[in-house]
Structure 1
Amino acid sequence: MAALSSTERSARLRSLWAPGLAALVCLAILLSLGTWQLARKSEKEALIARIIERSHAEPPAAPPPFEEWDAKADEFSRVRTRGTFLHDQETLVHGLAPGEPGRALQGFYVITPLKRDDGTTILINRGFVPTELKRPEDRAAGQVSGAATVTGMLRASETRTLFVPESDPKREAWFTRDIPGISAARNLTNVAPYLIEADATPNPGSWPRGGQLRVDLPNNHLQYAFTWFGIAACLIGVFSVFAWKRLYDPADPKAG
């Protein structure tokens, strides 16, 4: 095969500008995604470490004042508070809980307002009940009367994700721990901007079962980073072969 002339090679080199620019943009995006996943990995590890540390800390006598609540700084802190449960205003939020190995129990998380002596109200996630115990009369022993002390972890209002149905207060169909939404539906006032996930302190009658918050946050960001970097390496390899053939292979069609 005849060697390419300098004119032909110059024409082919010019034909690489458009695909080269496109490949460069894609490469920058892939490297950015990989770098972002490494940053997310560090953030997730720090979050997990913070949750573990706070879950073993001795809870203070009371949660932070409402006006001083900082979700980023205070969430997952253990706290203790005291008040009277308003069982007639509880809300059931659809959810799953660990059951037998390899299976999850379907049911609800029982969100019950706790009225404190100072007139403020805090929503308490008292724990999980299976579907067959949805009705309060079927778990009457677990309805605590009188003053009660609650120990648990602070949680912010839950944000609905793409694959979670939207709650319908009129149908009593709740799918997220929506503190403002639940408070409005129950006509509650002076409600804390956070809720408390109750510890696994045994309830009368065993239900609801608290202590469902587990430090099992998925941390697959390193795998995701390797995936993006791997795709970037493949892109470099594929474009390198493409460019070499365009520049040096006489059989490759000439650029017009």
Structure 2
Amino acid sequence: MPRFPLIPTIVVLAAVATMIALGFWQLGRLEEKEALIGRYQAAANSSDEVAFPTEDKSDHNWFRRSRLTCGRVLELSTVAGTSAKGEKGLTVRAQCSEGAFGMPLVVDLGFSRDVKLPVWDGGEVTGVIAPGPRLIADPPQAGLAALAKPDPTDLPNNHLAYAVQWFIFAATALVIYVLALKRKQRGE
């Protein structure tokens, strides 16, 4: 009759149960993320304009049309970006002073391949709210080309892969433990 060491067996079974629970948790997160992306897609298809979130960093208005007035430009900078035509280059980004609690508002003015920053003194900007939140100018400002519109399907949704990974970890832990027990029993 095989004998199982009590403490190691309890530890391994607890670890396996935890990994399986994490796998099911990731499956639940998958459903939540799919619902969230669906909500974002509905917002992206809406033509209704909403107020730009200046005090609320939540995602309720992401992918909706909005506008803001940049009264004072604090800084212009560039980050990697993609044009509406799919070209890779630079996004010209402005930080404006109107944000609540001293936080600047962020506006992506447009696309460029030129590292020289354009001159832009602010003003009213319309566009689409992207995660951050930041406003993607539409139409672009400062003589820049149009940026790719933010797309909800670009948000990472890798929860299924994580779930499978946790289930594989659990199975691997069980197999290794069973092999270790067999080896130990053969040695006794």
1:111-150 counterparts in 2 under 5 A? 111-113=94-96, 122-130=105-113, 132-136=114-118, 143=120, 148-150=124-126
Q: Would the alpha carbon gap of residues 253 and 106 (structure 1) be closer, same or farther in structure 2, given more than 3 Å must change?
A: same
Gaps of 5+ in 1: 1-8, 116-120, 157-193
State the distance in 2 between where 1:28 and 1:241 align.
19
Task: Identify which of 223, 229, 242 aligns with 2:161.
Answer: 223
State the distance in 2 between where 1:224 and 1:61 align.
35
Residue aligned with 1:127, SS: strand
1:166-245 counterparts in 2 under 5 A? 194-199=133-138, 201-203=139-141, 205=143, 207-215=144-152, 216-243=154-181
Letter in 2 for 1:47: L
**TM-score normalized by the length of structure 1:** 0.56
Number of aligned residue pairs: give it: 182
Letter in 1 for 2:137: A
Task: Identify which of 39, 49, 58 aligns with 1:60.
Answer: 49
**TM-score normalized by the length of structure 2:** 0.72
1:22-171 counterparts in 2 under 5 A? 22-60=11-49, 62-63=51-52, 66=54, 69=56, 71-72=58-59, 74-83=60-69, 86-87=72-73, 89-97=74-82, 105-113=88-96, 122-130=105-113, 132-136=114-118, 143=120, 148-153=124-129, 155-156=131-132
CA RMSD of superposed structures (Å): 3.5
Do residues 253 (structure 1) and 181 (structure 2) align?
Answer: no
State the distance in 1 between where 2:130 and 2:84 align.
25
**Residues 75, 155 of structure 1: 8 Å contact kept:** no
State the distance in 2 between where 1:83 and 1:99 align.
23
Q: Percent identity?
A: 23
Letter in 2 for 1:150: T
Gaps of 5+ in 2: 99-103
User: 1:228 Cα deviation (Å)?
Assistant: 1.4
User: 1:111 Cα deviation (Å)?
Assistant: 1.9
User: 1:24 Cα deviation (Å)?
Assistant: 1.2
